[in-house]
Amino acid sequence: MEAFAESIVGGSLNSWIQATYWLWPVLEITHFIGLSLLLGGLLVIDLRMAGHFKAFDPAATHQLLPLVLIGFGLNLFTGVLFFYGDPLRYSVNIGFQIKMGLVLLAGLNAALYYWKISPVMHGWDAATDSPPIAKFVAYTSLVLWTGVLLCGRLIPYVGTG
């Protein structure tokens, strides 16, 4: 990862990010908006999938998925630009490394949702109790994304691994 980071330093994108004084704050704001969409939507979806908020139709909560995906897309885009803006700092930062590991695990958890839960979920109604696999996926999602949030906030404050 460090070799990749070193290859970025001095490149046109790296130089542009570092030279544009207003860009980093705009990226931070956009990253926060993306995080709000991502975690806000997942909070409702996952808690309902885990069996809470019984008044909500489980399938209806999944109408929030486009907002979650937009939030993830914003965070992916801004996160890549953060990395390109300061690659030597991010590549060796333990908070960043753990965050990326948690994002990978969250992606695998999302794949489990799509393979096991999504195909049968549309038959659920408000009275249907969530099966154990749905509860597992929902709580795992909440734990992983909370970890991503916390590790992201730690990046400025922790050093190398």
pLDDT 10s digits, 98-129: 999 999 999 999 999 999 888 777 777 777 78
Tell me the per-residue pLDDT of 36-67, one tens digit each, with 9 for 90 and over.
Answer: 999 999 999 999 999 898 888 877 888 999 99
| pLDDT at residue 48, rounded to an integer | 92
How many other C-beta atoms lie within 10 A of the C-beta of residue 8?
Answer: 17
**Arithmetic mean of pLDDT, 77-105:** 96
Q: What is the pLDDT of residue 143?
A: 98
For residue 161, the model assigns a pLDDT of: 56
pLDDT confidence of residue 130: 85
Share of the chain above pLDDT 70, in %: 99
Q: Say what the pLDDT of residue 65 is.
A: 93
DSSP string, 93-154: BHHHHHHHHHHHHHHHHHHHIIIIIHHHHTT--TTPPPPHHHHHHHHHHHHHHHHHHHHHHH
Q: Where are the domains of the chain?
A: 2-154
